[in-house]
Amino acid sequence: MFSSHCSLLRKMASQMVAAQVYDRAFASPVASQIQTDATLPAYKKKAPSDAHSKERLFVVFNPHPLPQDVAEDVFCRFGNFIEIYIVPGKNIGYVKYSEVSSANDAIATLHGKMVNGVKLKVMQAESPRDESNKRQRTY
């Protein structure tokens, strides 16, 4: 009796592992994993890695950040996407675009929308402050 249960468990475990391997090897692209109440444009290629950033967006994720690949897929759809940086341990990130119009389209489409159960606040980021303008630490 015990050996038949072990044999059955082994068979089930190997089938589960095989299914996971198959899913990873032949899974459809990230786009099929995106559930959103926004109407997203078709996927577009990234801007060249040496592209100059003309606009930077600030993104707040609630209740937690999106996975990196999902966030890239969503923000890349507006064209001229350079990169997204999700701040480790925080529910915020920054998105860089090489064209202002692409960033504005991302704001208009994604601000206040849900992506995979995460509500997004998408807005224009403030310019990085000059070191001389930063508040002095008091510790």
pLDDT of the residue at 10: 75
List pLDDT tens digits, range 75-109.
999 999 999 999 999 999 999 999 999 999 999 99
Helix (H, G, I), strand (E, B) or coil at 85: strand
Q: Does pTM top 0.75 for this prediction?
A: no
H or E element: which one contains 11?
A: helix 2-26
Q: Which CATH superfamily is domain 34-124 in?
A: RRM (RNA recognition motif) domain (3.30.70.330)
Q: What is the mean pLDDT of residues 46-73?
A: 95
Beta carbons within 8 Å of 42's beta carbon, 6+ residues apart = 77
Distance between CA atoms of residues 47 and 44, nearest Å? 9
**What pLDDT is stored for residue 28 in this prediction?**
39
- Domain map of the chain by residue range? 2-29, 34-124
